[in-house]
A and B are shown apart, each in its own frame.
Chain A
């Protein structure tokens, strides 16, 4: 499928920014906007969004989760698509919102309608818009890619980022056990820090083994965890969200690196 013609009716796409991208790394959000606009979408950012509700959902607070989910469903009404630069938050809306309202005849159809229109960013570009080529070019050496759990297992995001990365000239050195969790797990890393640290320690050892200069993933939570461990160990491997590379938006320092110096190492 060819890229969408600029003259075709433009999709109205709402960006679900995610609370981590909003707070930590807005440059990922702008990279997502650029990718969507370059692909011919009209991007809007509903102001009624805060978070998808996962912290409450995974803590067992179902009532609070539903309140937040209703707010998201309301805010994202009427768009052609909702796009999320995170497999985890995308999976929450796509896979879990309908489960959450399974016994609620008023909200279930609305949750299902939103779920059907919601996509993780890279799979949306590749699978829905049929993007096969991008403007960005990468010539910065081999990269490696971590498959974040929810994106991989709830949304089937695996080949799409690799295909698009290859299209911009990136060589991927596959990460051993790339499908194994990095140990972030939202509140897990706070509740069970020792186990979480062991998991991210294993992950970082695998990353170092690839010899790649740059680690990419599609979820900022995992990236904060892996970058934080890499930096603590004095690694020179940088970490970025896959959207930054695909959009060619590399102005911001890599995750966990200083804005005042070129490199944090």
Chain B
């Protein structure tokens, strides 16, 4: 996917004026925020569990090489194959090679953000292999040729009317007069369409929510059961995962599973939690003949040991974006790449470069709600600030901001001079604004005054008045 993160401001402008999008985004509060709050309130050990999740991931990241090697050895011992992909291109080539080895024409796909990150669908299509998304949200946006706008709810930017329109456009064999009003009707239609595709697919590709070093297993969670059909029915199962999905033990995975669904959808547990351990064994009634795991680095190992390491604790629940006032205002597409919201504001610059994604860590008020709801206690605002520091060091901060800061800094470091300048400013603005008490327009502040008034200062500074009070008799 070609990044448009550099155009964040223009993207955001369009999003703010897109009335259908704005209607769809209204669902975030009732659909995600309220449900999460209710489930979390029912779990007394929530804070202890968050701390446990943080510890598990911190421990794993401190011994990442050890656990990855242990995991790979376990997978291979059980008849699976582990492939190491340094870059997205490596991952695409590995997947293509596996598909071609069995002459695959169609592959079914469970939901995978890693597949989005490496733009796998476009690549497979170019090579003559048809990828079929089986997660309902992913299926919808694949029909519409759109990227996901959310990491767990890829079609959250759409209304159900838009989905019905897309289904009528693509499912032309069905009765044109059928009802597609209720979400259930949309779901049933997609399910019927997908059923044959599941049976016909040569290869099934899924992501992974966890890789377990102890058992060599991969774990996925879904609410539709599509992941199970994707990985059980075809002859070949390919798991796509990034390095940081590894956890030491099954018990660790289940601890974090308790955090995941609650944070994501407000469920205590997802409808399906599926553990895959290797290919079909002699005597097994079903399962794939081949089991491949493709492990993606794509710059993540470079984050280890840096101020961005904590980001590798992320379990992709989406709580940060569900609670972000900026995401709620502009939606996910405005961020211009695969990962939106606060987690994307930290991760995207790592993956596509801060030159491309410079807006993302800046488009935050540092309100801190993302960190407050993050099940893995990732200090997201702090890491966005780290990106701003890197931008400043590398002179990527806009010149106007740099000069403004330099002038302000000159005064802020000289208190006596600062107080004189503040007095002059307060007097000037206080005098000019005295009649109305506010300004409807101000030079250099049009961004503010275009849509809101600027209250006028009272006219004298506190420090001037305080000095006068101290000089006054009787004190």
Across-interface contacts of A45 in B (CB, < 8 A):
462-463, 466
Query: Quick check: B434 and A149 within 8 Å, CB to CB?
Result: no
A50-B418, A62-B389 known; A71-B368 Cβ under 8 A? no
Question: Using a CB-CB cutoff of 8 Å, which residues 424-460 of chain B contact chain A?
Answer: 425-426, 434-438, 440, 445, 447-448, 450-458, 460
Cβ-defined contact, B448 with A55, below 8 A: no
Q: Which residue of chain A has the shortest Cβ distance to B17 in the bound complex?
A: A194
Q: Is A252 within 8 A of B458, CB to CB?
A: yes
CB contact list, A63-94 vs B, under 8 A: 64, 67-68, 71, 75
B84, CB-defined interface residue at 8 Å? no
Asked if B391 is at the interface of the complex by the 8 Å CB criterion, the answer is yes
Could you give, for residues 19-30 of chain A, a 1 whenever the CB lies within 8 Å of some chain B CB and a 0 otherwise?
A: 101111111011
Q: Is the interface of A mostly helix, strand, loop or mixed?
A: helix
Contact (A195, B12) CB under 8 Å given A29-B462, A67-B413, A260-B435? yes
Which residues of the other chain, A, contact B447 by a CB distance below 8 angstroms? 189-190, 193, 196
- Could you tell me if B453 and A231 are in contact, using CB atoms closer than 8 angstroms? yes
Whether B412 pairs with A264 at a CB distance below 8 angstroms is no
A26 to B460 Cα, complex, angstroms? 7
Q: A221-248 interface mask toward B, CB cutoff 8 Å, 1 = contact, 0 = none?
A: 0001101110110000000000000000
- Contact across chains for B326 and A195 when beta carbons are under 8 A apart: yes
Q: Are A194 and B16 in contact (CB under 8 A)?
A: yes
In the complex, given contacts A58-B388, A199-B365, what are 14 additional A-B residue pairs having Cβ atoms less than 8 angstroms apart? A22-B462, A23-B461, A25-B458, A26-B461, A26-B466, A45-B466, A56-B405, A149-B369, A180-B367, A180-B369, A181-B365, A189-B448, A232-B452, A256-B455
B282-328 contacts to A, CB under 8 A, are 325-326
> Does any Cβ of B come within 8 Å of A53's Cβ?
yes
Q: Are B9 and A192 in contact (CB under 8 A)?
A: yes
Given A29-B462, A228-B455, A185-B437 contact (CB < 8 Å):
no
A197-B458 in contact (CB<8A)? no
Which of A180, A193, A256 is in CB contact (< 8 Å) with B456?
A256
Contacts A50-B411, A181-B369, A232-B453: A57 and B466 contacting too (C-beta < 8 A)? no
The 10 closest A-B CB pairs, nearest first, are A185-B365, A193-B447, A60-B388, A60-B392, A181-B367, A26-B462, A256-B455, A258-B437, A228-B452, A149-B367
Say whether A232 contacts B451, CB under 8 Å.
yes
Give the interface size bracket for B toward A: 35 or more
Question: Are the CB atoms of A68 and B412 closer together than 8 Å?
Answer: yes
B359-391 with Cβ < 8 A to chain A? 362-369, 371-372, 382, 385, 387-391
Q: Tell me whether B422 and A195 are in contact (CB under 8 A).
A: no
List, in ascending order, chain A residues with CB within 8 A of B183's CB.
none
Q: How far is the CB of A214 from chain B (nearest CB, A)?
A: 15
Q: Does A141 contact B (CB under 8 A)?
A: no
20 A-B pairs in the complex with CB atoms less than 8 angstroms apart: A22-B463, A23-B426, A29-B466, A50-B415, A56-B412, A59-B392, A59-B401, A60-B389, A60-B392, A64-B409, A153-B367, A154-B368, A192-B326, A195-B330, A197-B450, A197-B452, A201-B451, A228-B452, A257-B437, A258-B436
Contact call B326/A26, Cβ cutoff below 8 A: no
Separation in Å of the B26 CB from the closest CB of chain A? Answer: 11
What is the CA–CA distance of A17 and B457 in the complex, to the nearest angstrom? 15
In the complex formed, the residue of B with least CB distance to A181 is B367
Q: Does B472 have its Cβ within 8 Å of any Cβ on chain A? A: no
B412 A51 Cβ-Cβ under 8 A:
yes
Cα A115 to Cα B307 in complex, Å, equals 23
Taken together as a complex, chains A and B put the C-alpha atoms of A184 and B461 apart, in Å, by 22
B408 at the A interface (CB under 8 A): yes
**Residue numbers in A under 8 Å from B454 (CB-CB):** 224, 228
Given the known interface contacts A23-B457, A23-B461, A232-B453, the answer about A149 and B368 at a Cβ–Cβ threshold of 8 Å is yes
Contact mask B386-414 → A, CB, 8 Å, 1/0? 01111111000100010001001101110
- Which chain A positions have C-beta within 8 A of B326? 192, 195, 199
Asked if A194 and B12 sit within 8 Å, CB to CB, the answer is yes
In whole angstroms, how far apart are the Cα atoms of A196 and B392 in the complex? 23
Question: Please, which residues of chain A bring their CB within 8 A of the CB of B466?
Answer: 26, 29, 45
Contact of A190 with B436 in the complex, beta carbons under 8 Å? no
Q: Which residues of A contact B448 (CB under 8 A)?
A: 189-190, 193, 228
A57-B392 in contact (CB<8A): no
Residues from chain B with Cβ under 8 Å of A149 in the complex? 365-369
The reply to whether A192 and B12 form a contact with Cβ atoms under 8 Å apart is yes
How far does the alpha carbon of A105 sit from the alpha carbon of B325 in the complex, in Å?
Answer: 38
Contact A228 B453 (CB under 8 A): yes
Choose from B365, B411, B458 the contact partner of A27 (Cβ within 8 Å): B458
A225:B462 contact, CB within 8 angstroms: no
B144 at the binding interface (Cβ < 8 Å) = no
B364: contacting residue among A51, A188, A229, A259, CB under 8 A: A188
Q: Given A50-B415, A194-B13, are A24 and B452 neighbors across the interface (CB < 8 Å)?
A: no
B177 within 8 A of A: no
Q: Which one of A29, A71, A188 lies within 8 Å of B365 (CB-CB)?
A: A188
* Complexed CA–CA distance, A154 and B401 (Å): 27
* Residue numbers in A under 8 Å from B393 (CB-CB): 60
Which has the most chain A C-beta neighbours within 10 Å: B367, B419, B450, B460?
Answer: B367
Q: Does A255 lie at the interface of the complex (its beta carbon under 8 Å from any beta carbon of B)? A: yes
B397 touches A49 (CB 8 A): no
Indicate if B465 sits at the interface (CB-CB under 8 A): yes
Q: Is the CB of A231 within 8 A of B438?
A: yes
Q: Does B49 contact A (CB under 8 A)?
A: no
How far is it, in angstroms, between the C-alpha of A56 and the C-alpha of B410 when the chains are bound?
A: 12
Contact call B436/A59, Cβ cutoff below 8 A = no
Is B130 interfacial (CB 8 A cutoff)?
A: no
A7 within 8 A of B: no
Determine the distance from Cα of A185 to Cα of B325 in the docked complex, in whole angstroms. Answer: 12
Q: Is B329 an interface residue (CB 8 A)?
A: yes
Do B391 and A55 touch across chains, with their CB atoms under 8 A apart?
A: no
